[in-house]
Amino acid sequence: MAWDFETDPEFQDKLDWMDEFVRDEIEPLRFVLGSPYDLSCPNRQKLIPPLQEEVKKRQLWACHLGPDLGGQGYGQVKLALMNEILGRSPHAPIVFGCQAPDSGNAEILAHYGTDEQKARFLQPLLDNQIVSAYSMTEPHGGSDPKVFKTSAVLDGDEWVINGEKWFSSNARYASFLIVMVVTDPQAPPYNKMSMFLVPKETPGVKIVRNVGVGTGTEEGSHGYVRYTDVRIPKDHLLGQRGQGFVVAQTRLGGGRIHHAMRTIAKVRTAFDQMCERVLSRETQGELLAQKQLVQEKIADSWTQIEQFRLFVLQTAWKIDKYKDYRMVRKDISAVKTVMPKVYLDVFSRALMIHGSLGVSNEMPYSAGVIDSFHMALADGPTEVHKVTVARQLLREYAGTDDLFPTTHLPKLRQAAYDKYAGVLEQEVAAL
């Protein structure tokens, strides 16, 4: 029997070290630093690189990658257990060298990049000397990439890119953007697009706005990017011409499941806070913990988190087993649809249990509620992933020409009578 829900002691030691390191050294950073991606911030550069060195010494750097790329090749199950800790802090993934979107961008550079592209873009990215952005969604449509209009035409030895992209996260901090562009408008829909590596300093790349998430008015980190006559050398094509969709899928599978792993950390933290609060706050002469409607919130949250965690771990295990995201597409899409629901449900309950304090900006719940919609949208909206799940599932079934279902009870009853007719007749005869 190979079913086992235990972590081997050697790896558990690493997780225990991580747990303490993240709590003591990384979680406080959110209160003193801005974006972990802002390499131009002197305080960030003073505080984060020494922590990264410590992680490298412990052989926990870039664990999403194989040893050929400087990672540990631990596989997705171990990465899931690590991300359950890293998700507690926005600064933790970058300290461990596995932050989105750089992790996904590194994955496609490793997979499709030429030697020159790897030397120029991949290596400094893996070393966190630079950060990157992924520029796919357009202002007029994101869920359906077939409507994208940003185009590139070949002019001599250069591609000339024109168009606009929306919500290119971290574009303001990035040294380069990976941009999905129409190169072959006459080709079938899934062969129209190609992927390009665009250095941000290239003339014609302009960040129109840095869009933020939620209600604040301060500048955010999701770039509304305009590309005007952006000329890049021919060899900045990533993968083959017309292969844009294939390249995109290679990065999105991993990205989605890694978000789910980190979401476990977030909902567990909110759950712990909720439990502390109900055991601390009294109303009408008893603790909140003694109210049955509050107990329901605790029980439902724990159950949802455990279900979700098992689903994530089983999907991670399947990725390790098949080593092919296409074989696990349905599972990843299903996890992606569950993730925002668990996140929203647990954070909404935590918010309610904390009352006015819960809705205030002195606790993390209102930000978490909004962030659950980030998880519902980024890498494709929930509805589209539900369609993927249903389509894949239905491929395993066939309809019937019969007027009634094949499992219609009268039909099954008749079949059972026919099967045991001999025995039943003997019983009747024996009466």
Query: Which parts of this chain interact with ligand FAD (CB under 6 A)?
Result: 101, 134-137, 141-143, 167-169, 213, 222, 374, 377-381, 383-384, 387
Instruction: List the structure tokens of 74.
Output: 């631990």
Nearest approach in angstroms of CB 249 to ligand FAD is: 14
Q: For the CB of residue 166, give the shortest distance to ligand FAD in the complex, in Å.
A: 7
Q: How far is the CB of 175 from ligand FAD (least distance, A)?
A: 15
Radius of gyration, CA atoms only, the chain: 26
Q: How far is the CB of 386 from ligand FAD (least distance, A)?
A: 8
Q: What CA–CA distances, in Å, run from 341 to 260, 358, 360, 368, 376?
A: 11, 19, 22, 12, 8
- Residue nearer to ligand FAD on the CB measure, 81 or 142: 142
The residue sitting closest to ligand FAD, measured at its beta carbon, is 142
Nearer Cβ to ligand FAD (81/108): 108
Residue 142 or 364 with smaller CB distance to ligand FAD = 142
DSSP label at 320? H
Three-state secondary structure string covering the chain: CCCCCCCCHHHHHHHHHHHHHHHHHHHHHHHCCCCCCCCCCHHHHHHHHHHHHHHHHCCCCCCCCCHHHCCCCCCHHHHHHHHHHHCCCCCHHHHCCCCCCHHHHHHHHHHHCCHHHHHHHHHHHHCCCCCEEEECCECCECCCHHHCCCEEEEECCEEEEEEEEEEEECCCCCCEEEEEEECCCCCCHHHCEEEEEEECCCCCEEEEEEECCCCCCCCCCEEEEEEEEEEEEHHHEECCCCCHHHHHHHHHHHHHHHHHHHHHHHHHHHHHHHHHHHCCCEECCEEHHHCHHHHHHHHHHHHHHHHHHHHHHHHHHHHHHHCCHHHHHHHHHHHHHHHHHHHHHHHHHHHHHCHHHHHCCCCCHHHHHHHHHHHHHCCCCHHHHHHHHHHHHHCCCCCCCCCCCCCCHHHHHHHHHHHCHHHHHHHHHHC
